[in-house]
Structure 1
Amino acid sequence: MHHRRLRYAVTSVLLVLAFVLSPLAVVATWAHSQVSDTDRYVQTVAPLAKDPSVQKTVSDRLTTRVVDNVDVNGITDALSNALAKANAPPLIVDKSHLLAGPLKNAITSAVHDVVNKVVTSDEFAQLWDGANRRAHAAVVKTLTGEGNSAVQAKGDAVVLDLGTVVDKVKQKLVDEGYQRAANIPDVDKSITLFRTDKLDKAQDAMRLLDITGTWLPVTVVVIAAVAVWAAPSHRIGLMSAATGIGVMMLLLLAGLAVMRRIYLDSVPPDALPPDAAASIYDTFVRFLRDGTRTVLVVAVITALAGCLYGPGRGARFVRSASSRSTGATGRAMARSGLRTGSTGRWLESHRPWTTGIVITAAALVLFFWNHPTVAGVALVLGITVLVLLILAVLAAASTPTTRKQTPS
């Protein structure tokens, strides 16, 4: 009895530790992939180039910055001087400055059309991907403070330098006939992505997550496995571990939703429109959400598998129905001449071992799969179930059933 209580205590402590560390492991894995994997980072930010709200924000900001560098008042002053030299009526000369507003609106409309064509083109998406690929060291700088690149931490903000895009817009304006656009001085080419007064603390936290990104997931799996092994009932221990980790994944998804609201409230509208800020947040964390959902689905499947191996009436019915179906199929194969002989008899006598090997192989595939998705989990589950059914059919097809002869 004392030994059993000790096992319960050890199992409980290990399970609680695994529950607490599981969401940190998911976040650490996501953060590590964003920092160390250039392709993953580019894949993360690529949709922003096609997002309508982000395109509108970039177009409006670039248009404003270009038009602000056009001296509209200077143009109207030059027009007034030209009219005065041409002996135009004084009323016309005096009223010429009223053209400044319509002229600025016309310039703004023309420039916005050109900028919008650039920003919504496939070429912009390619420029965006190329700039982010070349600037991947920016993530390292933002999260660890090392390196130099286009994305930088400035004070309490994280900004993206769009210098390449601005230069492309200026060249496009020249190509459209606005020759003076070539004389536009350099403008502010940065766009604020994030603004927070906790950036320093966030950087420290992300550095820690980056360091633990490789080993923390492994540690959680090992702790959970030891907890299941130490539990007096391995099946109950497995179901408890899966249920607890599943609950923690639900809490993590809820936490991401809360953080989204906090982030949107912290971004001033003049720094970034709410719809664009929402798109940026959702794009940056979408792989974290996907990873959390994947772990949640795996946990649910594991808990259900533990239930199916239990003594409950529903579990017994499912096992019995499956056994009857595979047995009937195997015997039908044997009667038609497709007998598996000694191989089938070996599969039948070693069914627990073959089942364990197949399930372990499926678990290892998911564990070593780089960034598995819910669809990937469903595919592995489907293949696993199919393999187990085939092995059961082959085991039942070793010999046909013989019917008892009734006396005449």
Structure 2
Amino acid sequence: MDPPRALGPQGSGPPYRDGPLTPSERRDYARLRGREALRHRRLRYAAASVLLVLAFVLSPLAVVAAWADSQVSDTDRYVRTVAPLARDPSVQNAVTDRLTTRVVDNVDVKGITDALSNALAKTDAPPAIVDKSHLLAGPLKDALTTAVHTVVGKVVTSDQFAQLWDGANRRAHAALVKTLTGEGSSAVEAKGDSVVLDLGTVLDKVQEKLVDEGYEKAANIPDTDKTIPLFRTDKLDDAQDTMRLLNVVGTWLPVTVVALAALAVWTAPAHRVTLMVAAIGTGVMMVLLLLGLVIARRVYLDSVPTTMLPADAAASVYDTFVRFLRNSTRTVLVTAVIAAVAGYLYGPGRGARFIRSATSRATGATGRAMARSGLRTGATGHWLDTHRRWTTGIVIAAAVVALVLWNYPTAACVALVLGIAVVVLAVLAVLGAASTVDGTERTKDPIGPR
């Protein structure tokens, strides 16, 4: 907008502009502009700080929520979660012992010894033998326990048991919903302060095997408790309430955390530094989450009585159920480390400049060697060389999209995508340098300080 104009006396004469600012006015103006700019920068830093704190606090919850949501919504992933339990020796031993006890407890050993005493009495056996026949109850029960344990062990350690386990869990995928929300009914149920697994199908298979082995009476074993406890906690109701909330926000909470971090980077005056802070803070929160899982494991093992579930079996159950959560946490941690390192390498630090310069010299020398050998890339290579910033951004964006579209990426997946992106960038740099053999080797920073 043009500065105000003034007219001569009585409105006549040509208009004229105000004169230039005096030195004191310029100093005042510069001081006011600097003060306003500083205030604006402080507001931007304050807003970015608030956004980062929110992102840091919500990041562990986002990882847990995404894990819980995937376990509920993805049947294949849930089956992959519980499948190793059927093949874990400690769990197999616990299931074998529990099923053996259930079967033997339903055998009337006292009735057998009483029938034996009556039979001996009818054959006029010596009274001493008849009176002491009840002493056979202990050895008879031990022998029966050994025999049943052997048969049950064969069933539980067989491939058929693993197939039954996987099939039952696949058909009863609502089990996890029951565990986390306490709603519906399935193979896994929440009873009081315990989470139990219904092994009715397995027990039926054991009865069939006992009959096949010659124990015909096993077919008459009455229905009994066919469950085995997986978890026990006096805070199950609170945990279920928390998991219900996490299931609701399981899809949007991770998106919200990413959006908060991106908005913080965009809001802050120093984008690169803020990106590094966001990555480092997220990495620290992932380390704390891993430590929390270790502490929770100890608390869980201390809360499970050995009479309910042996310590080694309880440890296997916990480790199996949370292993995908650990994998997700490590994946986010590795991604955060890569983002922090990338932010540093794009900065003005001496080490970052040295790495960029050395990389540029190496790719340039390789490209020119190709050109001298006749493998020139011509106009295409020249375009790649002059649009290196664009091609770098496209490759990085493609790597990010690949990780977003990858179902449940692991730390190894992140490393693989990073390796491919680095190789592609190196190849593009070599092709750009191979466009000509003329010119001097680039030693300046191809990116420049950020």
- State the TM-score, normalized to the length of structure 1: 0.97
1:355 to 382, 386, 392: 392
1:266 to 280, 292, 303: 303
2:81 matches 1:49: no
| Structure 2 Cα separation of the partners of residues 289 and 279 of structure 1 | 14
Residues 85-114 of structure 1, C-alpha deviations (whole Å, 9 max, x = no match): 112222211221111111110000000000
2:105 to 53, 57, 68: 68
* Residue range with higher mean Cα deviation, 197-206 or 283-292: 197-206
Residues 314-359 of structure 1, C-alpha deviations (whole Å, 9 max, x = no match): 1111111111110011001111111111111111111111101111
2:158 matches 1:121: yes
Residues 227-268 of structure 1, C-alpha deviations (whole Å, 9 max, x = no match): 111121111011000000000000000111111111111112
Q: Give the greater-gyration-radius structure (CA).
A: 2
2:343 to 275, 281, 306: 306
2:70 matches 1:2: no
1:235 to 256, 268, 272: 272
Aligned to 1:329: 366
| Structure 1 Cα separation of the partners of residues 181 and 297 of structure 2 | 23
Residues 347-377 of structure 1, C-alpha deviations (whole Å, 9 max, x = no match): 1111111101111111121122211001101
Q: How many residues align?
A: 403
2:211 to 171, 174, 177: 174
Report 1:68-107 matches (<5 A): 68-107=105-144
* Partner SS state of residue 370, structure 1: coil
Aligned to 2:10: none
Aligned to 1:17: 54
2:251 to 214, 223, 226: 214
**1:142, distance to aligned residue in structure 2 (A):** 2.5
Letter in 2 for 1:96: S
* Partner SS state of residue 194, structure 1: strand
Aligned to 1:373: 410
Letter in 2 for 1:116: G
Aligned to 1:40: 77
| Structure 2 Cα separation of the partners of residues 245 and 107 of structure 1 | 58
| Structure 2 Cα separation of the partners of residues 94 and 148 of structure 1 | 51
Letter in 2 for 1:276: A
CA RMSD of aligned residues (A): 1.1
Letter in 1 for 2:43: L
**1:145, distance to aligned residue in structure 2 (A):** 3.1
1:251 to 273, 283, 288: 288
Higher relative contact order (CA 8 A, sep 6+): 1
**1:402, distance to aligned residue in structure 2 (A):** 6.0
| CA distance 1:146–1:402, change in 2 (3 Å) | closer
* Partner SS state of residue 188, structure 1: coil
| Structure 2 Cα separation of the partners of residues 388 and 167 of structure 1 | 60
Letter in 1 for 2:285: M
2:210 matches 1:142: no
**1:21, distance to aligned residue in structure 2 (A):** 0.7
Residues 131-184 of structure 1, C-alpha deviations (whole Å, 9 max, x = no match): 111111121122223322111111221111100000000000000111111111
| Structure 2 Cα separation of the partners of residues 196 and 97 of structure 1 | 42
**1:294, distance to aligned residue in structure 2 (A):** 0.5
* Residue range with higher mean Cα deviation, 198-207 or 287-296: 198-207
2:322 matches 1:285: yes
Letter in 1 for 2:134: H
| Structure 2 Cα separation of the partners of residues 402 and 371 of structure 1 | 47
* Partner SS state of residue 83, structure 2: helix
Aligned to 2:383: 346
| Structure 2 Cα separation of the partners of residues 119 and 286 of structure 1 | 23
Structure 1 residues without counterparts, runs of 5 or longer:
404-408
Letter in 2 for 1:176: E
| CA distance 1:353–1:186, change in 2 (3 Å) | same
Aligned to 2:68: 31
| Structure 1 Cα separation of the partners of residues 385 and 247 of structure 2 | 48
